[in-house]
Amino acid sequence: MSSATAPAHDNTFGQDDTYLYHHFDDLHQQHESSSLGMWAFLATEVLFFGGVLGAFAIVQTLHAPAMRAASHHLDVLLGAINTGVLLCSSLAMALAVRAAQLRQDRHTVWLLIATIVLGSAFLGIKAYEWIHDYHEELVPGLNFNQERYPGRQILFWSFYFTLTGIHALHMVIGIVIMAIMAVLVWRRWFTGGGATQIEMLGLYWHFVDIVWVFLYPILYLINK
Amino acid sequence: MSQHVFTIKTNLIIFAILMVLLVVTVGVAYLELGVLEIPIALTIAVVKAVLIMLYFMHLRYSSRLTWLFAGSGTLWLLILLAFSLSDFLSRGWISPIVTQEPSLDTASAYFGGLPDPDTGLVLSDPEEAHGDSADGETSSAH
């Protein structure tokens, strides 16, 4: 175990941070508390999405024919491409975390930029789908056509736009934070290279990826 | 105290498995497996999520306390879903729909007859429409 008062130039392999705040016993405990805090936040996020998903599960159980009819208007291929794009961004993020752990600042910045680009591509495809839905008069509250899509199909579209909407909001937040982090790492703002900070951002981004991993089959596939 | 750093190879292997699972889940969706579709799709999603958590989110080499935090969200989510669906999925198990006959009339008589706005949907149960026409034929024969 390395010394608790590691000097700032000590770039030991895999050491998560080089600056020990006074209220922690050692660097390991400091890193552990960051990790636990992020996972606790993610647990609240699971329940945030879980409430909507639970409501969707009930509506799916009660009104399967309407859900089935509505889901047919979604493009399975576009959803699959989007899932692939998001998995690629997760890979880039995982490699960015690895680069940050190894103090490869230049790699970290480029991989963060790659993650931002892939995340933006996801949002672009999503926006294209939403605009298509709008032209098809499928947006509840804006222009939903009850004559064209009778019955309870409007329920599916309410869930679809709520779930994809809050997921996209999470992605926008993640992209903004990644842009800030990329600038900070590039300018060597962090004492220890920002390994812990990038790792926590990675946890958040992978969580958003996992949410989509569930949303894609639930919205696009199970009612095919 | 050094953390575990995953090699690039490990990351790429996990990514490849995730992409394969994506193709599998899309492929399975086109197989028309009926009631098995939802369990299979969700199982694949759970496998993908576990892989992402174990490797991309470094859970595999994290402390057991971190595992507890990661598992707590899932546990409460499962309680939420299981207790909600234990009601909605089991409705009708001991109702006249099962014990007498599975018809819309029996159901509406039992649950209270609200007009069902989904009856006019194109994809509603084809057997029901078929049964109606068969009844019409027999009645006209009489």
B101-125 residue pLDDT tens: 666 666 666 666 566 667 666 554 4
The torsion angles phi and psi of B104, rounded to 5 degrees, stand at -65, -35
Do B47 and B116 lie in one domain? The reply is no
Given this model, what pLDDT does residue A220 score? 93
Q: Are residues B33 and B54 in the same domain?
A: yes
Residue B22 in domain = yes
Residue A29 and residue A24: Cα distance in Å, rounded? 6
pLDDT < 50 regions, chain A: 1-16
Residue B97 has pLDDT above 90, yes or no: no
CB contact under 8 A, B56 and A44: no
For residues B49 and B82, membership in a common domain is answered with yes
Give the model's pLDDT for residue A6.
46
Cβ-based neighbours of A52, under 8 Å, separated by 6 or more: A159, A162, A163, A166
Which range of residues forms the domain containing residue B128?
96-141
Q: Which of B1, B44, B57 sits opposite A26 (nearest CB)?
A: B1
**Which single residue is written with the structure tokens 């392999």?**
A13
Residue whose C-alpha is closest to residue A214's, from B21, B92, B110:
B21
pLDDT interval class at B132 (50, 70, 90): very low
Give pLDDT, residue B35.
80
Nearest-angstrom CA–CA distance, A6 and A17? 9
Q: What six digits make up the tokens of A209?
A: 């990826």
Q: For residues B31 and B43, what is the distance between their CA atoms, to the nearest angstrom?
A: 16
Burial of A15 (0-12, 13-18, 19+ CB in 10 A): buried
Q: Is B3 helix (H, G, I), strand (E, B) or coil?
A: coil
pLDDT score of A188: 83
* Judgement on whether residues B23 and B79 belong to the same structural domain of the protein: yes
- CATH classification number, A27-221, choose in 3.40.50.2000, 3.90.660.20, 1.20.120.80, 3.50.50.60: 1.20.120.80
B83 and B102 inside one domain: no
Q: B135 pLDDT band (50/70/90 cuts)? A: very low
The ipTM of this complex is 0.85
Domain membership of residue B3 (yes or no) is: no
As a whole number of angstroms, the distance between CA B66 and CA B62 comes to 6
- The pLDDT value recorded for residue B104 is 67
| Count: domains in chain B | 2
Please check whether residue B1 lies inside any domain of the structure: no
One domain, residues B13 and B44? yes
Please tell me which of the candidates B5, B12, B56 has its beta carbon nearest to residue A90. Answer: B56
d(Cα B50, Cα B5) in Å, to the nearest integer? 18
Q: Which of B15, B66, B85 sits opposite A91 (nearest CB)?
A: B15
User: % helix / strand / coil in chain A, to the nearest 5?
Assistant: 70, 0, 30
Alpha-carbon separation of residue A46 from A51, A160, A213, B74 (angstroms) = 9, 18, 13, 7
B2 within some domain: no
The residue with greater pLDDT, B72 or A28, is: B72
Residues B77 and B105 in one domain: no
Are B112 and B71 contained in the same domain?
no
Residue A14 has a pLDDT of 36
User: Which pLDDT does position B32 carry in this prediction?
Assistant: 77
How buried is residue B39: exposed, middle or buried, by Cβ count under 10 Å (0-12/13-18/19+)?
exposed
Specify if B32 maps to a domain. yes
Tell me, yes or no, whether B41 and B73 share the same domain: yes
Single residue among B72, B88, B104 that ends a domain in this structure: B88
Per-residue pLDDT of B5-50, as tens digits, reads 888 899 999 999 999 999 999 998 888 777 888 889 999 999 999 9
Structural domain spans, chain A? 27-221
A to B CB pairs, distance under 8 Å: 173
B134 and chain A: CB distance < 8 Å anywhere? no
The backbone region for B5, taken as left when phi is positive above 0, alpha when psi lies in -120 to 50, beta otherwise, is: beta
Nearest CA distance, B134 vs chain A (angstrom):
23
B128 and B108 in a common domain: yes
CB contact set of A165 (below 8 Å; sequence gap of 6+): none
Residue showing tokens 């007009």: B115
Asked if residue B56 and residue B118 are part of one domain, the reply reads no
Contact of A76 with chain B, judged by CB distance below 8 Å, is answered with yes
Look at residue A193 in the predicted model and tell me its pLDDT. Answer: 73
Looking at the predicted structure, is the pLDDT value of residue B128 above 70? no
State percent of chain B over pLDDT 90: 38
Q: What is the reported pLDDT for B112?
A: 63
The answer on B70 and B16 residing in a single domain is: yes
C-alpha B13/C-alpha B8 separation (Å) is: 9
A residues 85-144 closer than 8 Å to B (CB)? 87-88, 90-91, 93-95, 97-98, 101-102
Q: Do A36 and B66 touch (CB under 8 A)?
A: yes
pLDDT for B95 equals: 56
Q: If we measure between CA atoms, which residue out of A80, A112, A100 comes closest to residue A213? A: A80
